[in-house]
Structure 1
Amino acid sequence: MFAIAIDGPAGAGKSSVAKAAAKELGFTYVDTGAIYRTIALYMLENGVDIEDPAAVTKALPGVEVSLEYGESGQRTLLGGRDVSGEIRTQKVSMATSKWVAHIPEVRAFLVEVQRELAKKHNVVMDGRDIGTVILPGAQLKVFLTASAEERARRRTLQLEEAGEQADFREVLREVVQRDRQDSAQLDLRPEDGVILDTTGLSFRQVVQELTSMARGRMENKAGGSE
């Protein structure tokens, strides 16, 4: 199996780029952020205090999160219910990044789920600590980044396209805030990873750069096994 691990700050385009690259390479795309968001959604829907790590940890056994793959891509299920759209709201995003994703027990709860997927498929996996913790043996590790302003612009457009009202200045403030919250994770970029700054690049250019690197690594792997 061949694994591509994509890390990077919020709003760098990890999910959209990873999804497109996986499709082009014929790999399985794993959006780990969606799994964290699903846990946050569960906590919000069930009245669990997300600011209380002990309460969240206690509620974890009740979470039934799974991924399904089809022609339209990954579907995220919570107790068998498709929540792929619900987990993309601003409320769930902030609950995830500010509280849920920082709880060690939540991260431990999801590690094996993510690793099992990489054992069964060629994967492109994006999220948190993918190259350092989840898939340290990934054949290609990429740290995808962009300026805060660029990421805020993309996030504003994404929210508007989803039918939500969005103010660029407010989104930029939230992006900077998330960078501060995630600073510990961002400092853990893989030592053997490649930094890909997407500021000023088109979406297609980023995907092409990623798939080109992947194909080069796969050719080297194939050549080394001969």
Structure 2
Amino acid sequence: MTLVIAIDGPSGSGKSSVSKAVARRLGLAYLDTGAMYRAATWWCRHQGVDLADAAAVEAAVARMPLEMGVDPDSPSVHVGGEDVGAAIRTTEISTAVSAVATNLAVRDELRRLQRAAIDGEKLDGFSGGRGIVAEGRDITTVVAPDADVRVLLTASEEARLARRARELHGSDGAGAVEATRDQIVRRDADDSTVSQFHVAADGVATVDSSELDLEQTVNAVLAVVAELAPAAAPTDEVGTGRTDA
């Protein structure tokens, strides 16, 4: 069967690592929709577009030559043939991305591309028609509300800040956490003005990873898959962490 798994959640909840691992275990494609917003931000800066000019940003993103690689072992992002995978993860882009991600016209355009990627995997894309794991902010509610499995992956603010601090600074000490706070708290606050990713919508399962390591979180999501789409789930995976559905 073709399987579509939608995973949403705030920054630092582990969406990317968990989604890639789930896709890998199930033989599915993987789509990082957050990277698409980062790529759009990079493209606008590369084109000299003022991010405060909403119409100019919209026009630039509409002509952005974006290519998303959906292999969970090596997801890639190319714009105009240029590999921007590293460039879009810089502090400069992280600080600026909310200006693009909160542009409603840009969201409409990127959502269109996201739906096209999901539909491509349903047909005969990278996964050979097996399906895709798509992760982001509004995948469970707007992009793929009819996904076979919809999960809100969440964690406490403390846990999310510590994770991102370790990722960016190699430490979760007080200084590193404070240096990370703006990217986590401010961006989530900005993005929450245009999408809801803190509380699960009806029919969306919640997995709280605050007290779970990566493997435990992956198994918790796979347990949700096993319940909601048993024909597609591996039979040897166990785990819990789900709080509701």
Question: What aligned pairs does 1:44-193 form with structure 2 within 5 A after superposition?
Answer: 44-70=45-71, 72-96=73-97, 98-121=98-121, 122-160=131-169, 167-184=176-193, 185-186=195-196, 189-193=200-204
Unaligned segments of structure 1, at least 5 residues: none
Question: What aligned pairs does 1:6-45 form with structure 2 within 5 A after superposition?
Answer: 6-45=7-46
So what's the TM-score if we normalise by structure 1? 0.88
Percent same amino acid at aligned positions? Answer: 35
Deviation at 1:220, TM superposition (A): 6.2
Q: Which moved more, 1:147-156 or 1:171-180?
A: 171-180
> What is the count of residue pairs matched by the alignment?
217
Once residues 69 and 213 of structure 2 are traced to their aligned partners in structure 1, the CA distance between those partners, rounded to angstroms, is 29
Once residues 93 and 80 of structure 1 are traced to their aligned partners in structure 2, the CA distance between those partners, rounded to angstroms, is 22
- Code of the residue aligned with 2:213 in structure 1: it is S
Once residues 58 and 50 of structure 1 are traced to their aligned partners in structure 2, the CA distance between those partners, rounded to angstroms, is 12
Structure 1 counterpart of 2:221: 210
Structure 1 counterpart of 2:124: none
Structure 2 counterpart of 1:201: 212
- Secondary structure in 1 aligned to 2:75? strand
Moved runs in structure 1, 4+ residues, more than 3 A? 69-72
- Secondary structure in 2 aligned to 1:99? helix
Deviation at 1:155, TM superposition (A): 1.0
Q: Which moved more, 1:35-44 or 1:208-217?
A: 208-217
Cα gap change, 1:71 to 1:133, in 2 (>3 Å):
closer
Structure 1 counterpart of 2:241: none
Tell whether the 8 Å contact from 1:129 to 1:189 is kept in structure 2 after alignment: no
Unaligned segments of structure 2, at least 5 residues: 122-130, 234-245
Cα gap change, 1:183 to 1:111, in 2 (>3 Å):
closer
Structure 1 counterpart of 2:243: none
Alignment deviations for residues 79-111 of structure 1 (CA, whole Å, 9 cap, x no partner)? 111111111112112211x21001111111112
Higher helix share: 1
Deviation at 1:71, TM superposition (A): 7.5
Cα gap change, 1:173 to 1:120, in 2 (>3 Å):
closer
Deviation at 1:174, TM superposition (A): 3.6
Cα gap change, 1:57 to 1:173, in 2 (>3 Å):
closer
- Secondary structure in 2 aligned to 1:73? coil
Deviation at 1:52, TM superposition (A): 1.9
